Amino acid sequence: MKISVIVPYEGYYQYLKDCLESLSEQENVEIETLLVGSQDDQKFQQLVDTYKDKISLNVIPCSIEEGVAKKRNLGLENATGDYIYFIDSDDYIMPQTLSCLLQDAMQKDLDLVVGRRWITWFKKQVFETMGDEKNEELNLKDKDDDRNHKFLEKDYSDIDDSDEQRRIDLLIRAKKGIRNISVLNILIKRSLIEENHLRFNEGFIYYSDLPFVEGLVMYGHKIDFNDKTLYAKRKHNDPINTPALSQIKDETKFDEFINVYKYAISLVDKESRIRYYLDSKMIKYYSNFFAKKIRRSKDDFWRDERFDQMSILMQDVRDDLLKNMSHYQRKMVKLARNHDLQQTQKVIAKHLAKNKMKKILKNKNEINKYLYRHKYINEPIEENWIMFETFMGKSYADSPKYIYEYLAKNYPGKYKFIWVLNDSKEKLPYEGIIVKRFTKKYAYYLAKSKYFVFNIRQPLWFRKREGQIFLETWHGTPLKRLAFDQEEVTAASPTYKSQFYRQKQEWDYLIAANKFSSDIFKSCFMYTNGTMLEIGYPRNDLLYAPNKDQIALDLKKKLHIPLDKKTILYAPTWRDDEYYGKGQYKFKLKLDLEMMKEELGDEYVILLRTHHYIADALDVTGVEDFAYNLSKYDDITEIYLISDICITDYSSVFFDYANLKRPMLFYTYDIDKYRDVLRGFYIDMEKELPGPLVYSTKEVIDQIKHLDEMNQKYAQRYEVFYDKFCSIDDGNASQRAVEAVFK
Ligand code: C2G
């Protein structure tokens, strides 16, 4: 038995590679692949050559600009298999997907087998290399499925015809909303399609799946599901430059959707269950989505003409399903039927206000946001207020700390300082107000301060007022690719890039520690709107302090670190694919502390320092007299001062530490994955770093035991590195920042 896999190609080469690779990994099935659409370039040709034999790939000529309906139809015309399977060229499937579907289809002689889809923005390689997180990623989607089933029970509780039920289930399972019904991850007997002359309607661009799937449901009687078969529906994570069809914002989408719906209901009786289902989904669409549009829109076309169309559609929805709808939905249908726009708008406004109120009452932060938007933002800006935030209020550190201290020392009484600190263990060294992030006070100061000095991005709901000045210090010279330079952003949703784009527009100033950074920031943040301050890092001023030895000694005493031992700092970064949840990352220590203590303990102690994203606490049981966990200590710059050697990995830590010209090692046990799968780098670590890359505890120990040799070997590279990344730093960067911004 052969499966014809139809792949319409829309021109995003990097996604296609994952897709074809996943087809080549299908186990125990015979397939032919019909790739519809081609590109006239070398990369595309290379890809075709690579997979030609592996997946018996045929390219069917068709302009890339043609719609997906036409491409799929061309695929159908050329298919010779016993079964048809559609996959989009930007998606991928798991290795057992096709064999499981086929096995079911053959064993039970089914017309259709429906697999499971989940929406993800992870590229294939990332997903595959994940550990337990893989299940979390999939489990999240399970919840959606549950909700769909509940909805199904509610709407169809009186139906016991299981065959009919299953077919409708197929449509529902296809996805939550009516607009997302899809033909993906369904194995279809080709004879079902051919005998019933099923084709995609080429007049539709966005929603041609709906009537096609409807045809499958009407004619395909033997249907089953297989939950083990996974299909990754990939969101594109740069919706600004390379949107997927579902991410395109096009006003005409709505009109097409209405036409598709009309076409779909014209294919079935009004009494049929399919019609019942389509209508109920349409009412939900009308009351939950469309309603918002007509309320907010100042555009007459949305408000009047499209309301007219909806009004006509609502006349015709089945009356018997209204009893299953909510009070609000029933009311909306009634008003639409009466063509009462004014009253409809009132009802929507009330409904939305009620929902908003519920949200506000449930979550304190929402109240604060509300106050920010509706109250505080109307009050005058205070000319001498400056707000500081580092790492989401987790620490008093980084460049904002040094800029604050410079201002407080040199301009006493001139400014009022507001620090965002969630856990204010100690008092600020100079006068200042401490507020917790996202509290009422936070919202208040966010609206009224004149200046902001932040080292990460501002909250999404912040709207810079005219007259406010935002200084973004950022938090490191970039090694890892950032934002728009990342082809795929593993650790953030597809909205990340569009949000970033909006946020960076509000940055009046951006600090770059060196020319290398300022060049990169221009591209990775698309930062061309504000002023780049290429002035060195204020946070590194301390590394040039004349009394830095005394500061180091005092700190060692304060932290109870033995004064007679030398210190090794281990400060690794976080991994995009190892997480518990948003901003909560895992970290497993890969250094054998016992071995290190054994080998180096007479001369050294080790200071451990995890990134602020890391939620796991390090365990130093048994080596307490050798390993000191400083992960909670606010300012890593102070820690640099007390460290004789630094071990790090892909963290920007090394760019700063190099200011001290002390020895560095790079413990890069997972470099291939980090560089090639997760992030990509801006520099060649092997060639440019001022110290060796090591891959095991043994190698770490060995290098430290032969420190002089290591220093000698890397001396020249260190100089070049220092010149490139540290030469602006001289202890006066805070002053330069202050003079540029606080004129
Ligand atoms: N940091 C720290 N402890 C660590 C790692 C990092 O205190 N174990 C601090 C350092 O000041 C470092 C900063 O957090 O410079 C940023 O950390 P990175 O590891 O570089 O990672 P990330 O937060 O992803 O920022 O342009 C820089 C990039 O944005 C990287």
For the stretch 668-692, pLDDT in tens is 999 998 888 888 899 999 999 999 9
Report the pLDDT averaged over residues 96-107: 95
Q: Residue 211 in contact with residue 267, Cβ under 8 Å?
A: yes
pLDDT at 637 over 50: yes
Orientation of helix 273-284 relative to helix 327-337, angle to 10°: 90
> Cα(143)–Cα(727) distance, rounded to whole angstroms?
53
Highest-confidence segment of 173-182, 211-220, 685-694:
685-694
**Can you tell me the mean pLDDT for 630-659?**
97
Residue 219: pLDDT band (50, 70, 90) is: confident
pLDDT at residue 226 above 90? no
Q: Return the best residue to mutate from 653, 666, 668 for the ligand 1 pocket (most ligand atoms within 8 A of CB).
A: 653
- Reply yes or no on whether the pLDDT at 178 is more than 70: no
176 has a pLDDT exceeding 70: no
Report the C-alpha gap between 420 and 443 in whole angstroms. Answer: 11
470 Cα: distance to centroid of ligand 1 (angstroms): 21
| Rounded average pLDDT over 728-735 | 98
Retrieve residue 167's tokens.
């077919």
CA-closest residue to ligand 1 atom 5: 611
How far apart are the C-alpha atoms of 45 and 39, rounded to whole Å? 8
* DSSP 8-state symbol, 677: I
Cα 615 to averaged position of ligand 1 atoms, centre (Å) = 15
Question: How confident is the model over 104-118, as a mean pLDDT?
Answer: 89
Which segments within 500-626 are labelled E, that is strand? 509-512, 531-534, 566-571, 579-581, 584-585, 604-608
Best residue among 611, 640, 679 to mutate for probing ligand 1, ranked by most atoms within 8 Å of CB:
611
Which alpha helices (H) appear in 489-648, and where do they start and end? Answer: 495-504, 515-524, 548-558, 593-600, 636-641
Task: Determine which residue's CA is closest to atom 27 belonging to ligand 1.
Answer: 476
Virtual torsion, Cα 532, 538, 540, 543, nearest 10 deg: 140
Name the residue at shortest CA distance from atom 1 of ligand 1. Answer: 611
What is the position in ligand 1's atom list of the atom closest to the CA of 477? Answer: 26
Segment 512-541 shows an average pLDDT of: 96
Distance 476 CA to ligand 1 centre (A): 6
The reported pLDDT for the residue numbered 558 is 96
| Residue 708, C-beta contacts closer than 8 angstroms, at least 6 positions apart | none
From 398, 496, 652, give the residue whose CB has the most ligand 1 atoms within 8 Å, as the site to mutate. Answer: 652
How many A from CA of 588 to the centre of ligand 1? 17
The Cα–Cα gap between 178 and 272 comes to 17
> Cα(612) to centroid of ligand 1, in Å?
8
pTM, 2 dp: 0.77
DSSP per-residue codes, 102-133: HHHHHHTT-SEEEEEEEEE---HHHHHH-STH
Q: Nearest residue CA, atom 3 of ligand 1?
A: 611
3-state secondary structure 214-263: HHHHHHCCCEEEEEEEEEEEECCCCCCCCCCHHHCCCCHHHHHHHHHHHH
Residue 159: band (very low, low, confident or very high) from pLDDT cuts 50, 70, 90: very low
Helix (H, G, I), strand (E, B) or coil at 96: coil
In the prediction, which pLDDT does 492 show? 64
Lowest mean pLDDT among 242-246, 253-257, 473-477, 633-637: 242-246
Q: Please determine, for residue 160, whether its predicted confidence score (pLDDT) is greater than 60.
A: no
DSSP state string for 143-193: HHHHHHHHHHHHHTTT---HHHHHHHHHHHHT-SSGGG---TTEEEEHHHH
Q: What is the Å distance from ligand 1's center to 711 Cα?
A: 25
Mean per-residue pLDDT over the chain, rounded: 89
CA–CA separation, 15 and 91 (whole Å): 7
Asked which of 227-241, 383-397, 515-529, 654-668 is least confident by mean pLDDT, the reply is 227-241
CA of residue 592 to ligand 1 center, whole Å: 23
- DSSP of 405-466: HHHHHHSTTT-EEEEE-SS--S--SSS-EEE-TTSHHHHHHHHHEEEEEESSPPPTT--PPT
Among 651, 657, 659, residue to substitute to test ligand 1 (most atoms within 8 Å of Cβ): 651
Protein residue whose Cα sits closest to atom 10 of ligand 1 = 653
More confident site: 210 or 700: 700
- In this predicted structure, what is the pLDDT of residue 152? 37
CA distance 481 to 475: 14
Mean pLDDT, rounded, for 561-571: 97
Confidence of residue 153 (pLDDT cuts 50, 70, 90): very low
Task: Using a pLDDT cut of 90, give the percent of the chain over it.
Answer: 64
pLDDT more than 70, % of the chain? 90
Whether the Cβ atoms of residue 509 and residue 531 lie closer than 8 Å to each other: yes
The residue whose CB lies within 8 Å of the most ligand 1 atoms, and thus the one to mutate among 395, 489, 521, 573, is 573
- Measured from the Cα of 571, ligand 1's closest atom is 8
Supply the pLDDT for residue 180.
Answer: 67
Q: What is the pLDDT of residue 149?
A: 40
**For residue 427, what pLDDT is reported?**
81
End-to-end CA distance of the chain: 76
Query: 201-204 contacts: CB < 8 A, separation 24 or more?
Result: 201/69, 201/260, 201/263, 202/67, 202/69, 202/70, 202/73, 203/69, 204/67, 204/69, 204/256, 204/259, 204/260
* Nearest Cα residue to 105 out of 196, 186, 184, 169: 186
264 in helix, strand or coil? helix
The strand order across the sheet containing 693-694 reads 627-629, 604-608, 566-571, 645-648, 664-667, 693-694
Q: Which residues line ligand 1 (CB under 6 A)?
A: 398, 474-476, 478, 480, 482, 571-573, 609-611, 636, 651-653
> What is the average per-residue pLDDT within 335-361?
90
- Domains observed in the chain: 2-264 (3.90.550.10), 273-361 (no CATH), 372-539 (3.40.50.11820), 541-725 (3.40.50.12580)
pLDDT of amino acid 471: 98
| Pick from 184, 236, 239: nearest CA to 14 | 236
Could you report the per-residue pLDDT of 598-635, keeping only the tens digit for each? 999 999 999 999 999 998 889 999 999 999 999 999 99
Identify the sign of the CA torsion 604, 605, 611, 617.
Answer: positive
CA nearest to 415, candidates 441, 450, 445: 450
pLDDT of 645 over the 80 cut: yes
Q: Give the residue whose CA is nearest to atom 26 of ligand 1.
A: 478
The ipTM is 0.96
